[in-house]
Structure 1
């Protein structure tokens, strides 16, 4: 029986670093180097390795991930593994999930410990990712799973996975839902299938290939966090600037179940009239309130004033989705309907 064909696309990140002459870690390893470090890979799959870039994920761009999605669409293989840095894995994996509707596994993985440290996790994570990509249950449920992240022997849905610690090995988690599967010995143990109605609805509204055509009026999305005693200066600057400081939309990381300081409400309401403005929970995700608290800065008042409710999406994921909406040329009513599906 022939082995599954797995294509590895390497973007850089800690998993692909090596020390320079001073001992400082620098980008340098390519896909072939990553594969060579894990001899067991060739026993479970026919591996194709391709170096896409050698850049830390903190410097990746939306355009690069859109181009990566186009590249993935063109591949004729049984599964895809993307290696990158951990800094933006929670964002890039969700963007890929919005852009790709494939019936093969697409796995994103990375490393927390660089290759110069004792027990680096990159080789183990790459091996685990390929095991997941070749697993019969994963392959049979690839469309239902969507893009997934594999870190430290656990499998997470792209829409839910978060980096919850800057340095620990167990830096990734899905705090709302838990993992979809776990790796034990050489087995993938299924635990759950994700609820993907909102992602499927988003893909339908964004179009079959949002990466194929960028709206000529596209502008990036700002992310502003609400904190104790926030005066709202940045909100005011966005409202007053004729070019909105170059932004085409905004995400507000709100307090609690969807609240902001009363002093910024006027600015936020004005902002919502000039830019699509999404409210998302700064607590890290989870369905927000809709009709519990009163007062000018409550969820009831903000929703009535025209702010778009981000549902259960973490602010950084809400920004990914709003960016995709703007690239697709969606108007505010369509954007609001799309976000409403996320709860």
Structure 2
């Protein structure tokens, strides 16, 4: 069992703004707490060596791939300089996506832990201080080493690959529908219950290549015709289709998606929220079998949002369709 406080550990804390740092509104705009403010609200953090970096105050809907990958480089330098773990605070709106992006490229044994809050410090019962404490304890825990990128909120520890924001306001919003949390923080002790396998990290692409790699997400709906899909290759290099259930679309869409799959990589994910796209159970036009036959790439267990993250990163690295399909077979 890991001790709740490990004073010999050195944790690098990076702050990105978000609800956890919102301290009310002024005439000049939103007042945001600094990293020092966040740490001061959690007296128990005084027992650990924290290096606080206020990187940028960005609402999480405004975060970009480039900013997240820049943060990965900053965190890598901190680890190379002796930090044994990394904690990042950010808004929860895009946390599941940034966590997965980081996990795809994070090369270190040191844990990279993301956290945030659902209630800001001006509300009754703000959850930010408890989440920050749990995240730092997780980053300091020897048992968390080698687990890659983790998301810690509500005393639950989630693998970046599986975690999703499942509720707009609940403090128990974050869950891993397909697997559950891999651990918990109990009475200050970090308990890792499951150790998921890690994949080899991908390289960080050049910023120019990342900017040029654009991926659009289309969520299929009832009686969906989506005539605009024919125009997707003009401005995008990839497409993720969030299909019904196990990976189905209206039969009228199947030929158009097949045509697109001959021009750009098209990944088939499920809009259901949990569960996998199937491969060979249904055979009607618009089924998963039919769409794969037309060239769509099976996204497996990756949800549409994480599928888009992976596809864009792969395209920025110059992956062709075969390499994209191989990567989704590995990560999905």
Normalised by the size of structure 2, how large is the TM-score?
A: 0.93
How far, CA to CA, are the matches of 1:235 and 1:53 in structure 2?
A: 36
Whether 1:223 aligns to 2:217 is yes
Picking from 33, 38, 44, the partner of 1:40 is 44
Contact conserved, 1:137 with 1:190, CA < 8 A, in 2?
Answer: yes
Unmatched tracts of structure 2, length 5 or more: 1-5
Unpaired runs of 5+ in structure 1? none
Judge which range, 218-227 or 163-172, deviates more: 218-227
Closer, same or farther: CA 131–298 of 1 in aligned 2, 3 Å? same
- 1:291 is matched with 280
**Distance in 1 (alpha carbons) for counterparts of 2:265 and 2:140:** 41
Match of 1:184 among 183, 186, 189: 186
1:263-278 to 2 correspondences below 5 Å? 263-278=252-267
User: Matches of 1:42 and 1:217 in 2, distance apart?
Assistant: 41
Q: More deviation in 28-37 or 84-93?
A: 28-37
Question: 12, 16, 26: which one pairs with 2:17?
Answer: 12
Deviations 1:29-56 (A, max 9, x none): 221211121121011x101111111111
Cα deviation, residue 25, structure 1: 8.1
Query: Is structure 2 residue 113 aligned with structure 1 residue 100?
Result: no
CA 290–134 in structure 1, closer or farther in 2 if over 3 Å, else same = same
Displacement after TM superposition at 1:274 (Å): 1.7
User: Which residue in 1 is equivalent to 2:251?
Assistant: 262
- How far 1:26 sits from its partner (Å)? 2.2
1: CA distance, partners of 2:204 / 2:143: 29
Identify the residue that residue 130 of structure 1 maps to in structure 2: 136
Q: 5 Å matches for 1:98-247?
A: 98-138=104-144, 142-143=145-146, 145-196=147-198, 199-200=199-200, 203=201, 206=202, 209-211=203-205, 214-215=208-209, 218-238=212-232, 244=234, 246-247=235-236
Any conservation in 2 of the 1:279–1:310 contact (CA below 8 Å)? Answer: yes
Residue number in structure 2 paired with 1:305: 294
Q: CA shift at 1:82, angstroms? A: 0.4
Is the 8 Å Cα contact of residues 210 and 313 (structure 2) preserved in structure 1?
Answer: no
Give the structure 2 partner of residue 84 of structure 1.
90
Q: Is the CA contact 1:27–1:54 (under 8 Å) kept in the aligned structure 2?
A: no
Shift of 1:216: 7.2
Equivalent of 1:59 in 51, 57, 62: 62
